[in-house]
Structure 1
Amino acid sequence: MLRAEGLTKRYRQGEKEVVALSGFTYTFPQGSTAVVGPSGSGKTTLLNLLAGFDLPTEGGVFLGEKALHRLPEDARAEVRLRSMGFVFQQWNLIPTLSAWENVAFPLLLAGWPRPKREARAKELLERVGLAHRLHHLPSRLSGGEQQRVALARALALDPPILFADEPTGNLDAESREQVAALLFQAGKERTLILVTHDLELAARADRVLHLKGGRLVREEVLKVTQGQNF
């Protein structure tokens, strides 16, 4: 279980102090949580703190009983590898690796032998409808296909927490629907935290957190779902 307690992040801009996030406290349950708000509301800051990419000025992030914000960077990186998956707007695939090699890359970092890496990558690419694209480089894939590869990679080590930052922002309508369906299916029995400007996409989540001025101003509980593992 991932929880934030009193998360605050301040920056200095010359003589001015900027408060990007202030006093954010929330326990993220299983299922999907969308985080919405206008530009500058603190959405990206929150994601970076929850994932341990950045450290809070005050407050903390806890994964179970582990205080993520107190760990050194190498230990936080290990937590991200083992316990978190990430889907970004820009896909971030390695251009010189094929689709299956991109999906298998976290498994390589985790020490899996090649036969197991290859089998797991093929299994996940089949699940996202890309069994026929195993050996294609990212440059030979459409934007929607690249994002589905990125989602498969995020799920490679079956992480309990999945972060998605504007995952459909660069996609056409058909690809948006494909990725959204796969994303929310994957989030049914793990903790999915989705940052988005797309209110229609956010409305498909189990709950929506509204940020404004770096503060949590409202929570909407839309539904409680139970589903099978992705």
Structure 2
Amino acid sequence: MANLRAENLSKRYRQGEREVVALEGFTFSFPQGSTAVVGPSGSGKTTLLNLLAGFDLPTEGGVYLGELALHQLSEDQRAEVRLRNMGFVFQQWNLIPTLTAWENVAFPLLLAGLPPKTRRERALALLEAVGLLERAHHLPSRLSGGEQQRVALARALALDPPILFADEPTGNLDASSREQVASLLFEAGQARTLILVTHDLELASQADRILHLRGGRLVRVATPAPG
């Protein structure tokens, strides 16, 4: 599995006459397992995720997947790297409203060019893994928030990516659904690199390590106490 790492990563932008420093000098190599990124609003968490995933480009420094320099690729090349190597779980679920649960899960497989039978079998197997096989033919509007997030997680795992990003994945869920989604998320993260951005310190404490950001800088790396 290719290692994802950031080297001296910085992001600045102009806001009127003022230069805003969103991230400054971030260096970290993300090992297999789960890494939670925490910090107050404006600390650089979302900026970091966007840079690591290649949604945005750094002002300085770089992001590397193994020996591949993501920041030196074109937008289309970065999109291809994301499709093949990264899965995403967002706070808002981002399911396609006109597709059923299994069709949503199968969508990355369609983009990757897999045949219909393979797409359907893989999607149904993933829905079974997250406990939603009986909801496979339901549209997102007929699913609860927790169910939609489990569909989103299944979709993120469709191409078995080595890297999984989760951006506030339990932020819109009730307590029961939060616990269920968190359990599935960390289980999925054991065999890959899971990078979790969250305000929820209880959720972050379940990760293998916690990165604390403040003012756009990495100020602390912590290992939660067992149990």
TM superposition score normalised by structure 1:
0.97
Q: CA RMSD in A?
A: 0.8
8 Å CA contact 1:60–1:67 kept in 2: the answer is yes
Partner of 1:228: none
Partner of 1:106: 108
Superposed CA offset, 1:15-74 (max 9, x none): 100000000000000000000000000000000000000000000000000000000000
8 Å CA contact 1:37–1:197 kept in 2: the answer is yes
Residues 186-225 of structure 1 aligned to structure 2 (within 5 Å) = 186-222=188-224
Partner of 2:146: 144
Aligned counterparts of 2:180 and 2:134: Cα–Cα separation in 1: 16
**Unmatched runs of 5 consecutive residues or more in structure 2:** none
1:174 aligns with 2:173: no
Partner of 1:227: none
Segments of 4+ moved more than 4 angstroms: none
**Unmatched runs of 5 consecutive residues or more in structure 1:** 225-230
Aligned counterparts of 1:198 and 1:55: Cα–Cα separation in 2: 27
Aligned counterparts of 1:223 and 1:147: Cα–Cα separation in 2: 28
**What secondary structure sits across from 1:12 in the alignment?**
strand
Q: 1:74 aligns with which of 63, 73, 76?
A: 76
**What secondary structure sits across from 2:117 in the alignment?**
helix
How far did residue 145 of structure 1 move?
Answer: 0.1
8 Å CA contact 1:35–1:193 kept in 2: the answer is yes
TM superposition score normalised by structure 2:
0.98
Partner of 2:16: 14
1:134 aligns with 2:136: yes
Cα 1:223–1:159 shift into 2, 3 Å: farther
